[in-house]
């Protein structure tokens, strides 16, 4: 008798499965198709994106010569990196205006910080005081990776242009009082601090120079 109940139970299960399949079979198939297509699309996009990035990088590395420094085929960060390279090339040839024009069109925020710093260094229109104001702003920005280089530049201007060795040493302290300062930069700052301390003692009257 128990076998009969088992057979009836199995028959009912099969009947329910057939009913469910007739009612929702199309939905199940469509759902599976979506999953398969989605997985394929994601894999396809990843492959396309990798291939595109490789192509873009190769294009950047292949750019040579003054007439080929600009490429409209570069996108995003690589385009901005190329603009930095272009500006640097013009700066080396003392074509300041052309260099600044390329620094000014950079969009990536991190690369823009580098462009801004470089613009300050090569600009011929900025006075020493204007440069100091801009360099000080960078040196006080803890989120700017160039803050220590800006502090060093500020120290050099104060010492060599304004002959204000006390102020120069205050810029140097920004470098020396931080543990994450690059080693080579710290060594340079330590040497300058010793030099400026000696000059500060021998030329105290010059330390009254203000911005």
**What would the pLDDT profile of 7-33 be if each residue is shown by its tens digit?**
545 555 566 555 655 665 555 555 555
Final residue of a domain: which of 80, 107, 125? 125
Q: Which two tokens stand for residue 30?
A: 């469509």
Co-location of 91 and 163 in the same domain: no
Co-location of 132 and 169 in the same domain: yes
Co-location of 159 and 192 in the same domain: yes
Co-location of 136 and 210 in the same domain: yes
Co-location of 55 and 35 in the same domain: yes
Co-location of 134 and 183 in the same domain: yes
Can you give the residue range of the structural domain that contains 109? 66-125
Average pLDDT for residues 174-195, to the nearest whole number? Answer: 91
Co-location of 49 and 89 in the same domain: no
**What would the pLDDT profile of 155-184 be if each residue is shown by its tens digit?**
999 999 999 999 999 999 999 998 888 889
* Predicted model pTM: 0.59
Query: What sign does the CA torsion over 182, 188, 190, 196 have?
Result: negative
Co-location of 138 and 114 in the same domain: no
Final residue of a domain: which of 26, 46, 62? 62
**Residues 169 and 197: beta-carbon distance below 8 Å:** yes
Final residue of a domain: which of 62, 94, 113? 62
User: Secondary structure of 36-84 in the HEC alphabet?
Assistant: HHHHHHHHHHHHHHHHHHHHHHHHHHHCCCHHHCCCCCCCHHHHHHHHH
Specify the DSSP element, H or E, that contains 154: helix 147-160
Co-location of 49 and 5 in the same domain: yes
Domain total for the chain?
3
Co-location of 134 and 115 in the same domain: no
The pLDDT of residue 49 is above 50: no
């Amino acid at each position: 008798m128990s076998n009969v109940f088992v057979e009836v139970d199995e028959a009912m299960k099969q009947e329910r499965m057939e009913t469910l399949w007739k009612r929702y079979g199309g939905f199940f198939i469509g759902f599976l198709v979506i999953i398969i297509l989605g997985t394929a699309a994601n894999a396809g996009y990843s492959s396309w994106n990798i291939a595109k990035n490789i192509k873009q990088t190769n294009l950047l590395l292949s750019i040579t010569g003054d007439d080929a420094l600009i490429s409209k085929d570069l996108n995003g960060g690589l385009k901005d990196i190329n603009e930095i390279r272009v500006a640097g090339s013009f700066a080396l040839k003392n074509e300041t205006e052309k260099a600044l024009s390329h620094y000014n069109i950079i969009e990536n925020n991190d690369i823009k910080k580098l462009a801004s710093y470089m613009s300050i260094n090569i600009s011929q229109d900025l006075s020493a005081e204007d440069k100091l104001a801009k360099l000080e702003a960078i040196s006080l920005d803890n989120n700017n990776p160039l803050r220590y280089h800006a502090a060093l530049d500020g120290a050099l201007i104060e010492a060599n242009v304004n002959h204000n060795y006390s102020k120069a040493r205050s810029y140097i302290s920004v470098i020396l009082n931080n543990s994450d300062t690059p080693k080579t930069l710290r060594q340079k700052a330590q040497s300058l601090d010793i030099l400026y301390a000696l000059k500060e003692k021998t030329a105290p009257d010059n330390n009254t120079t203000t911005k």
